[in-house]
Amino acid sequence: KAGVTQTPRYLIKTRGQQVTLSCSPISGHRSVSWYQQTPGQGLQFLFEYFSETQRNKGNFPGRFSGRQFSNSRSEMNVSTLELGDSALYLCASTTAPTGAAEKLFFGSGTQLSVL
Protein backbone atom coordinates (compact mmCIF):
# COMPACT_ATOMS: atom_id res chain seq x y z
CA LYS A 1 0.00 0.00 0.00
CA ALA A 2 1.44 3.36 -0.99
CA GLY A 3 2.02 5.87 1.79
CA VAL A 4 0.94 9.48 2.00
CA THR A 5 2.33 11.41 -0.95
CA GLN A 6 3.02 15.12 -0.84
CA THR A 7 4.01 17.20 -3.82
CA PRO A 8 6.13 19.08 -4.51
CA ARG A 9 8.91 18.11 -2.10
CA TYR A 10 10.59 21.52 -2.24
CA LEU A 11 9.27 24.91 -3.27
CA ILE A 12 10.80 28.36 -3.44
CA LYS A 13 8.54 31.38 -3.73
CA THR A 14 8.83 35.12 -3.24
CA ARG A 15 6.83 37.32 -0.92
CA GLY A 16 3.37 38.17 -2.18
CA GLN A 17 3.03 35.08 -4.35
CA GLN A 18 0.60 32.27 -3.68
CA VAL A 19 1.27 28.57 -3.48
CA THR A 20 -0.71 25.33 -3.68
CA LEU A 21 0.47 22.14 -2.01
CA SER A 22 -0.95 18.71 -2.71
CA CYS A 23 -1.50 15.65 -0.54
CA SER A 24 -2.63 12.19 -1.63
CA PRO A 25 -3.66 10.10 1.37
CA ILE A 26 -3.31 6.37 1.78
CA SER A 27 -5.95 4.54 -0.23
CA GLY A 28 -9.11 4.20 1.83
CA HIS A 29 -8.25 7.06 4.19
CA ARG A 30 -10.87 9.79 4.23
CA SER A 31 -9.40 12.17 6.80
CA VAL A 32 -6.56 14.52 5.90
CA SER A 33 -4.95 16.94 8.34
CA TRP A 34 -2.40 19.64 7.58
CA TYR A 35 0.36 20.89 9.86
CA GLN A 36 3.00 23.58 9.66
CA GLN A 37 6.35 22.72 11.23
CA THR A 38 9.00 25.31 12.09
CA PRO A 39 12.05 24.93 14.34
CA GLY A 40 10.73 27.36 16.90
CA GLN A 41 7.05 26.39 16.98
CA GLY A 42 6.98 22.67 16.34
CA LEU A 43 3.94 21.22 14.58
CA GLN A 44 1.07 23.67 14.39
CA PHE A 45 -2.35 22.39 13.36
CA LEU A 46 -3.77 24.06 10.25
CA PHE A 47 -6.97 22.17 9.43
CA GLU A 48 -8.56 18.78 9.02
CA TYR A 49 -10.82 17.56 6.25
CA PHE A 50 -13.06 14.53 6.29
CA SER A 51 -15.25 13.50 3.36
CA GLU A 52 -14.69 16.86 1.64
CA THR A 53 -15.78 18.87 4.71
CA GLN A 54 -13.51 20.94 6.92
CA ARG A 55 -13.95 19.57 10.44
CA ASN A 56 -11.51 21.73 12.37
CA LYS A 57 -9.33 24.72 11.83
CA GLY A 58 -6.27 25.91 13.73
CA ASN A 59 -5.32 29.45 14.60
CA PHE A 60 -3.99 30.60 11.25
CA PRO A 61 -4.97 33.65 9.18
CA GLY A 62 -7.43 33.39 6.32
CA ARG A 63 -4.52 33.37 3.85
CA PHE A 64 -4.29 29.67 4.63
CA SER A 65 -7.04 27.62 3.06
CA GLY A 66 -7.62 24.09 1.95
CA ARG A 67 -9.99 21.71 0.31
CA GLN A 68 -10.57 18.04 -0.17
CA PHE A 69 -11.76 16.29 -3.27
CA SER A 70 -14.11 13.35 -3.65
CA ASN A 71 -11.13 10.98 -4.01
CA SER A 72 -9.86 12.25 -0.60
CA ARG A 73 -6.89 14.04 -2.13
CA SER A 74 -6.36 17.40 -0.49
CA GLU A 75 -4.77 20.69 -1.37
CA MET A 76 -3.80 23.63 0.75
CA ASN A 77 -3.29 27.11 -0.53
CA VAL A 78 -1.39 30.01 0.95
CA SER A 79 -1.98 33.40 -0.61
CA THR A 80 0.10 36.57 -0.29
CA LEU A 81 3.11 34.70 1.05
CA GLU A 82 5.13 36.19 3.88
CA LEU A 83 8.69 35.36 4.97
CA GLY A 84 7.31 33.75 8.13
CA ASP A 85 5.43 31.19 6.03
CA SER A 86 8.73 29.41 5.33
CA ALA A 87 8.25 26.01 6.91
CA LEU A 88 7.80 22.31 6.38
CA TYR A 89 4.16 21.60 5.58
CA LEU A 90 3.04 18.13 6.55
CA CYS A 91 -0.14 16.32 5.78
CA ALA A 92 -1.39 13.25 7.57
CA SER A 93 -4.17 10.82 6.78
CA THR A 94 -6.29 8.36 8.68
CA THR A 95 -9.45 6.40 8.03
CA ALA A 96 -11.72 8.22 10.49
CA PRO A 97 -11.80 11.75 11.93
CA THR A 98 -9.09 12.33 14.55
CA GLY A 99 -11.63 12.11 17.36
CA ALA A 100 -11.68 8.37 16.73
CA ALA A 101 -8.19 8.03 18.22
CA GLU A 102 -6.49 6.50 15.23
CA LYS A 103 -2.85 6.99 14.45
CA LEU A 104 -1.88 9.54 11.84
CA PHE A 105 0.15 8.55 8.80
CA PHE A 106 2.34 11.43 7.67
CA GLY A 107 3.84 12.29 4.33
CA SER A 108 7.43 13.53 4.06
CA GLY A 109 6.24 17.10 3.71
CA THR A 110 6.72 20.04 1.39
CA GLN A 111 9.57 22.35 2.35
CA LEU A 112 8.48 25.87 1.43
CA SER A 113 11.00 28.70 1.34
CA VAL A 114 9.73 32.25 0.93
CA LEU A 115 12.36 34.76 -0.22
Beta strands in 1-115 (DSSP E): 5-7, 10-13, 19-24, 31-38, 42-50, 53-57, 64-68, 74-78, 87-94, 105-106, 110-114
> What single-letter amino acid sits at 106?
F
Closest CB 56 distance from another protein, rounded Å: 4
Cβ closer to another protein: 58 or 75?
58
Please tell me the distance from the alpha carbon of residue 38 to that of residue 85, in angstroms, as a whole number. 9
Q: Which is nearer to another protein, 79 or 105 (CB)?
A: 105
- Contact region with another protein (CB under 8 A), list: 13-21, 69-77, 78-86, 91-99: 91-99
Q: Rule CB under 8 A: choose which of 11, 55, 75, 86 binds another protein.
A: 55
Does position 4 interact with another protein (CB under 8 A)? The reply is yes
Reported as half-sphere exposure (CB side, CA atoms, 13 A), residue 16 has a value of: 0
Residue from 19, 25, 33, 72 in contact with another protein (CB under 8 A): 33
Q: CA distances (Å), 104 to each of 5, 34, 99, in order?
A: 14, 11, 11
Chain residues in the site for another protein (CB under 8 A): 4, 33, 35, 41-45, 48, 55-56, 58, 90, 92, 98-99, 101, 103-109
